[in-house]
Structure 1
């Protein structure tokens, strides 16, 4: 197997045994990028020579010698951070974002900055879906998802304000993990929503997600490859967005019901109280666009015309939000967060779609976050795992959701689900 096809955990085993070295792994990844980047267009910036030198010097740690990509809304000291905005073209931060710094401290080697939408909100970049370049890779973590799926590097950093980690991972057929809010430090990120933005990770295995996120968070997220001691208690939640589910997603949920039942885990229908619907219909977007407008205060004040018209309209909408509506949204989110654990009862996790269906055709739109923003509002951990293909042979994903703080348990169950679906 070519080294670029290895997962991070596979590569680490080979490096530890002396059968692979970090420079050879990096050379293989760079060869893959050279062969694929003209089509996939996942990278904003990368520099092969320093990456090779860094691989040669890679220190010991949990991520010794592992190449990784960084979504271009996180600062990096040795490559520009431009946030997909002409306003910040050529911007060179002095320091790495905390997540990047901690990954490097564990021996990881940053290979490049990945494409995002403008400020991780609107105006998609040029990235294509590696499974079919006529289709979107999703967004806003489009470059991170496409690069991991196309074997540029085994792991990458993404972010999520609504569905920007889970959805592109599902569209590109990889694993995406949005941790409990705040698990991975956000210092040095171009923050758009104070109460929603969450740094997440993308990989080709659940174990890699646990490893990479754990290193950046300086936490132990367990070993998802360890055999679980009992069968889980699973609920299936169709969500308020179910009317928008495409036929392939409807069929996927039915297949999962049968698969789980066949493994002795008949899933139970799960519902949330009526107020949770408002997270989907109003609370989330009210908070998101108000906070995004406030975060882009300097850009709106001094470079307003350099913000795309679509994004500018959303920011103006956020600024126009009335006090009563804003307070109601914050209060509603708080009530739902407080109530969610009890709603799960004895369930270990719930299954719900990762996206409406397969990746839509065209690059002008990154798809809908309707199956994601409820969970982002709740600050709960989510994992999407590959779950078959749609009518055009494009990947589908299924999303697992658990209580806040139960990240290690959720990752273990995600690995279990992947195993029974294989």
Structure 2
């Protein structure tokens, strides 16, 4: 993979120019894209900027995020040729930081379930995950050092786990979701993919202008291991990855203990879908109501199956979520970071599914920062990640803890 941090260090030392850094990515895209199919469109004649903390860094943008100079088609035929007039704020923030947008990466239709043709760079016979399929695969294949995705259920952390890359789903709305096709305004969160935690931290700090987000490694953290039994059993490689990460953290000097989540947190996991689907019916009112047959089949079924949710169901779910956030904040007074699986196990075989978000949806609902750290490689070169999770707004702590876990796993 291409390390963003390494490219920037070489630029600072004068060993690499911004133009040379961009050329490395463009050459890698030329070599890999024909197989991986991570992009839906590539920028015409992209140029490196000479200034900014991310100068020379090539970035892929998930194709539900508006770009003024490339179409935003949302993986759906109904938006074929759709050309926004403006860049989304997160795209402008990247450009102002000196980054170069080199293309739009594949997304499942409307960031839902209908898969893309993108292949998993670790094993082409297994899904790269979704909905940010192209963003995770482009980084995992070593084409680009940075990509942007979104998460409403598990669409940043899960594909990062499946493709063996680092990623952050920051605290809710740390990165603005304006100019992003809405699925659920309570849940939609913009996130980043990169080769390692340092790369993610540098990028997030540069985009937001918050230097403290490039946090140094935490020393001897108090780690609470969360198995999420309420989300169902793990799959192949899942339990092994979590145990491996917990042992590595303990060996590196962390205090590690298993935590049982209170009932209200388990209940919040169960009502995530109520919030998501109630809001989805409003977010897709035009597509579903006026263009029903054009809605991709898996998303259409999802909407069909959730028409029964009422405003009362939604309000009750919001009350549960608020109580669960308060309960989680109490738990996080006794530990520095939670350690949980990023996916049930290895990426599923085949390309007809993007995998199950059941190990992600709770943390999306609670708005907490989550950092995926590649933890384990099963047979077939199939990766499994773990996620470092802290309280809402504690992104600095999440990154610092993830850097500790990453080093421990090495």
Indicate whether the TM-score tops 0.5: yes
The correspondence for 2:321, drawn from 333, 339, 344, is 333
**Is 1:264–2:264 an aligned residue pair?**
no
The correspondence for 1:35, drawn from 9, 31, 34, is 31
The correspondence for 1:172, drawn from 163, 170, 174, is 163
Partner residue of 1:417? 405
The 5-angstrom pairing of residues 46-57 of structure 1 reads 46-47=42-43, 49-51=44-46, 54-55=47-48
The 5-angstrom pairing of residues 363-378 of structure 1 reads 363-378=351-366
Partner residue of 2:8? 12
Number of aligned pairs? 410
The one-character-per-residue Cα deviations of 1:48-97 (angstroms, maximum 9, x if unpaired) are x421xx21xx1411211211000001000111000011110001111101
Displacement of 1:297 in angstroms is: 1.5
Partner residue of 1:80? 71
Question: Could you tell me how far apart the structure 2 residues matched to 1:401 and 1:293 are?
Answer: 30
CA RMSD of aligned residues (A): 1.5
Question: Could you tell me how far apart the structure 2 residues matched to 1:263 and 1:16 are?
Answer: 31
Moved more, 70-79 or 232-241: 232-241
The correspondence for 1:254, drawn from 231, 236, 243, is 243
SS of equivalent to 1:126? coil
The correspondence for 1:352, drawn from 340, 352, 357, is 340
Partner residue of 2:201? 210
**Is 1:238–2:227 an aligned residue pair?**
yes
Does structure 2 retain, via aligned residues, the 8 Å contact 1:293–1:316? no
Moved more, 399-408 or 270-279: 270-279
Displacement of 1:307 in angstroms is: 0.3
Question: Could you tell me how far apart the structure 2 residues matched to 1:89 and 1:227 are?
Answer: 44
Displacement of 1:122 in angstroms is: 1.8
SS of equivalent to 2:237? helix
Question: Could you tell me how far apart the structure 2 residues matched to 1:251 and 1:8 are?
Answer: 30
Does structure 2 retain, via aligned residues, the 8 Å contact 1:64–1:107? yes
Displacement of 1:242 in angstroms is: 5.7
SS of equivalent to 1:384? strand
Question: Could you tell me how far apart the structure 1 residues matched to 2:308 and 2:351 are?
Answer: 30
Structure 1 unaligned regions, length at least 5? none
Displacement of 1:346 in angstroms is: 1.9
The one-character-per-residue Cα deviations of 1:19-47 (angstroms, maximum 9, x if unpaired) are 21122222221221121112111001003
The 5-angstrom pairing of residues 145-184 of structure 1 reads 145-184=136-175
SS of equivalent to 1:342? helix
The 5-angstrom pairing of residues 260-299 of structure 1 reads 260-281=249-270, 283-299=271-287
Question: Could you tell me how far apart the structure 1 residues matched to 2:13 and 2:249 are?
Answer: 37
Structure 2 unaligned regions, length at least 5? none
Does structure 1 retain, via aligned residues, the 8 Å contact 2:204–2:214? no
Question: Could you tell me how far apart the structure 2 residues matched to 1:154 and 1:411 are?
Answer: 18
Partner residue of 1:403? 391
Does structure 2 retain, via aligned residues, the 8 Å contact 1:241–1:370? no
Does structure 2 retain, via aligned residues, the 8 Å contact 1:185–1:217? no
Does structure 1 retain, via aligned residues, the 8 Å contact 2:123–2:380? no
Displacement of 1:117 in angstroms is: 0.3
Does structure 2 retain, via aligned residues, the 8 Å contact 1:71–1:113? yes
TM normalised by structure 2 equals 0.96
Partner residue of 1:126? 117
Does structure 2 retain, via aligned residues, the 8 Å contact 1:291–1:318? no
Question: Could you tell me how far apart the structure 1 residues matched to 2:398 and 2:53 are?
Answer: 21
Does structure 2 retain, via aligned residues, the 8 Å contact 1:210–1:221? no
- Deviating runs (4+, > 6 A) in structure 1? none
The correspondence for 1:44, drawn from 22, 37, 40, is 40
Does structure 2 retain, via aligned residues, the 8 Å contact 1:162–1:369? yes
Partner residue of 1:387? 375
